[in-house]
Amino acid sequence: MDHSLDTAENSENLKRFVIEPVSRVEGHGKVTLLVDDNNQIQQCRLHIAEFRGFERFIQGRPYWEIPILVQRLCGICPVSHHIAAGKAIDMISGVTELTESAYKLRLLLHYGQTLQSHALHFFHLCSPDFLFGFESELAGRNIVGVIQKHPELALQGVKLRKYGQEVIRVICGKRIHGTGCIPGGMNKPLSREDKHYLLGDTEQIIAWAECAVKTARDCYLANEPFHKNFAGLRSNYLSLVGDKGELNLYHGKLRLKDASGNLLFDKQDYCDYQNLIQEEVKSWTYMKFPFIKTMGKESGWYRTGPLARVNNCDYIPTPLAEMARQEFVAYGGKEPVHSTLAYHWARMIEVLFSAEKIKQLLFDPMITGKDLIVQGKRQSEGIGVVEAPRGTLIHHYQVGEDDLITKANLIVATTHNNTALNESIRIVCTQQINGREISEKVLNNIEVAIRAYDPCLSCATHAIGRMPLKVEMRHQQSGELISQLIKDIDGTLHR
């Protein structure tokens, strides 16, 4: 890993360039470059310059309010936060298994969301870079340009996203920030009319999703040698995978692969995330840098999101997406696919998977079931993890006896990718920019690399407060608790 551009040795005599705001991504970020007289870049950083403090201010709110409140972290994938918090709140209400109908409704909701978020990202935000070139004219390099030059493609993208948003609307009452997950289940069954309304378009959506995979693949392969190395990194990959090793975005166990594709860990319960992940703070950004504890910060960083998931899973449980996955894996050969720009290809494979999954679920008779709520015995802690469109999303809450939140910790998908994001833009600096006159067009290369990750800088600005640490020592054979040590947020230790 190339840390040399993290901090310039002597910043006084360098020229500063800034990309602010980073655009055609979701949320707020900026990039700064320090450049010497020979146009050699000496420092390059992606800053998250906003701070919101969610974990602090939701303390004191009642737990059932949390899924509705925290989705306001992010208007692009609110459903991910809604569901991750919903799963944590289920656990707090002592519910380990939802009714079949509630579970399937949640799946439908989550796949609707993945479809809309991925479509938005590719068609509305990133396609202009591929259709017109990374250094094309600024004026046309956006969705308006796509509408003018490639109206059919633009319309398909718009309609794919619309369909995903409609799935969300019929379940949650609104396309953005509705209500659905309540403790132990869902607040409304899917009506027969809504089911038929959605069913009407499934074939068309799957067909468009297949086109989307082709478009993303062809864009990537059209200029393969260049795209392969553009911001290219070798990294570890983290994601949830289902019980049988299948791609599963709603639930599963954590798997980590190294750059050669070897399993570093597998089948890890996500409730243990605190023992797996640590985070580094740097003074120039509000976004932390997570890494795998046992590996250390130098080599323990990893990537999450579509690329990680498609690389990590053993198979995709729907036929068309599985075929697309096999082609993707074959392209990678013996190793996982590392190209940063291949994120787009993997993302469209997930669009196809989501579209097929939605159809399956709509044909499932349980999807309109009315038995939607389970009750359990109240617990004091809950952890909910999902694979959000951008990667592994962790929500963790503690609740007092009075039902109010006492502690919260959220690690959002984009934060996991922080090191990779910074590394990618530094590689772009070295490969594409060094020595050149710095112009708006040249700088777009940096944004192209950032966009590949589909970073949700909106989520990333929420800022973090960690949970107290709990160390448990257990008997090796019996698993019995021998002793425990608890370290509170203020640093005090007790047993």
Interacting residues with other proteins between 377 and 406 (CB under 8 A): 402-404
Query: Nearest distance from residue 52's CB to ligand SF4, in Å?
Result: 10
For residue 164, give the nearest of 226, 118, 106 by alpha carbon. 118
Which is nearer to other proteins, 3 or 21 (by Cβ)? 21
User: In this structure, are residues 73 and 408 in contact, taking their beta carbons and an 8 Å threshold?
Assistant: no
Tell me the sheet residues that pair with 484. 472
Distance of CA 221 to the CA centre of its chain: 24
Q: Is 161 in the site for other proteins (CB under 8 A)?
A: yes
User: In this structure, are residues 104 and 367 in contact, taking their beta carbons and an 8 Å threshold?
Assistant: yes
Where in 142-181 is the site for ligand SF4 (CB under 6 A)?
177
Q: How would you class 279 by CB atoms within 10 Å of its CB: exposed for 0-12, middle for 13-18, buried for 19 or more? A: middle
Residues in contact with ligand SF4, shown as a per-residue x/- string from 30 to 69 under the rule CB under 6 A? ----------------------------------------
Q: Counting every residue, how long is the chain?
A: 495
Residues in contact with other proteins, shown as a per-residue x/- string from 442 to 461 under the rule CB under 8 A? --x--x----------x---
Q: Where are the beta strands (DSSP E) in 269-340?
A: 277-280, 289-292, 302-303
Residues in contact with ligand SF4, shown as a per-residue x/- string from 82 to 111 under the rule CB under 6 A? ------------------------------
Query: Nearest distance from residue 75's CB to ligand SF4, in Å?
Result: 5
Q: How far is CA 93 from CA 33, 183, 279, 377, 488, in A?
A: 49, 6, 29, 6, 24
Which is nearer to ligand SF4, 60 or 151 (by Cβ)? 60
DSSP state of 176: S
Contact partner at residue 333 from other proteins, ligand SF4, none, CB < 5 to 8 Å by partner kind: none
Which one among 5, 76, 91, 446 touches other proteins, defined by CB under 8 A?
76
Where in 177-216 is the site for ligand SF4 (CB under 6 A)?
177
Q: Is 75 in the site for ligand SF4 (CB under 6 A)?
A: yes
Q: Is 72 in the site for ligand SF4 (CB under 6 A)?
A: yes
Where in 401-430 is the site for other proteins (CB under 8 A)?
402-404
| Antiparallel, parallel or unpaired: β 236-241 and 302-303 | parallel
Which one among 245, 264, 293, 317 touches other proteins, defined by CB under 8 A?
293
Instruction: Read off φ and ψ for residue 437, nearest 5 degrees.
Output: -65, 130
Greatest CA separation for the chain: 69
Query: Nearest distance from residue 85's CB to other proteins, in Å?
Result: 11
Stretch that binds other proteins, among 70-78, 351-359, 389-397, 416-424 (CB under 8 A): 70-78
Query: Nearest distance from residue 22's CB to other proteins, in Å?
Result: 9
Contact partner at residue 374 from other proteins, ligand SF4, none, CB < 5 to 8 Å by partner kind: none
Structure tokens that stand for 284 in this block? 């120039």
User: In this structure, are residues 323 and 213 in contact, taking their beta carbons and an 8 Å threshold?
Assistant: no
Query: How many Å apart are CA 91 and CA 97, to the nearest integer?
Result: 9
Find the residue with minimal CB distance to ligand SF4. Answer: 72
Which is nearer to ligand SF4, 72 or 162 (by Cβ)? 72
∠ CA 272-288-351, rounded to 5°: 70
Residues that bind ligand SF4 (CB under 6 A): 72, 75, 177
